[in-house]
Amino acid sequence: MWFVYILLVLIILSGGYVFLVLPRPKHFRPRSDVFEQTKFFAHRGLFDNGVVAENSLSAFKAAKKFGCGIELDIRLSKDGIPVVMHDRSLIRMCGVNKNVDDLNVDELKKLKLLDTEDCIPTLREVLDLVDGAVPLVIEMKAAGTDVSVCPQSEILLRHYNGTYAVESFNPFALRWYRIHRPEILRGQLATSFKNSKNDANPFVAFMASNLLFNFLSRPDFIAFDIHFSSSVPLKICSKYFAAVPVGWTVRKETELNDPNFENFIFEGFLPHADK
- Judge contact between 213 and 207, C-beta under 8 A: yes
Closest CA to 23 of 225, 236, 181, 229: 236
Identify whether 86 is a catalytic site residue: yes
User: Catalytic: which of 27, 43, 180, 227?
Assistant: 43
Identify whether 43 is a catalytic site residue: yes
Other CB atoms closer than 10 Å to residue 11's CB: what's the count?
Answer: 10
Q: Is 130 left (phi over 0), alpha (psi -120 to 50) or beta?
A: alpha
- Judge contact between 55 and 73, C-beta under 8 A: yes
**Quick one: CA dihedral 15, 259, 36, 227, positive or negative?**
positive
Q: Where are the alpha helices (DSSP H) in the chain?
A: 2-21, 34-37, 57-66, 91-94, 105-108, 123-130, 149-157, 171-180, 202-209, 214-217, 232-235
Phi, psi torsion values for 77, nearest 5 degrees: -75, 175
Cα 43 versus chain centre, distance: 10
- Judge contact between 59 and 47, C-beta under 8 A: yes
- Judge contact between 82 and 76, C-beta under 8 A: yes
User: Catalytic: which of 27, 86, 159, 272?
Assistant: 86
Q: Which run of H or E residues covers position 133?
A: none
**Exposure of 25 in the CB half-sphere (CA atoms within 13 A):** 4
Query: Catalytic residues, which ones?
Result: 43, 86
